[in-house]
Structure 1
């Protein structure tokens, strides 16, 4: 599992429509983040269960170590602005 306590990590699994929507939306923002497929990483799946009441609810996103279960793109960007503003793409 990528234990990135400074950056953004998107935990996802293949076939998840909500994951595809969030990942595409975040790519369009040019925000730098790491993706972790919980089907390929048992530790990541265990982490997701630990923050999602025992379920493997994805997408789960961490921003500077703070977990959010099934957030919208807007919620992720707000969390980045609040907890890791240095990661926001330059909007110049």
Structure 2
């Protein structure tokens, strides 16, 4: 369960947004970024994901992807890869 309060699985196309841009208030379940979508361009492709969590260790501009989402933009063995993303809601 992520900071938005929803249960997800590794096979879902989801992401955790960095804590700076997520900007959680007292109740992160009420964050207006929860449920929004971003389009990510990576080294090997593109994927649209839903924001369902916060990444406390991520720098501004970074997102942490589910394994299923990551495989659309790079090989899982690559670990961290450069990306560009934008809101698509």
TM above 0.5, yes or no, is no
TM-score by structure 2 length? Answer: 0.32
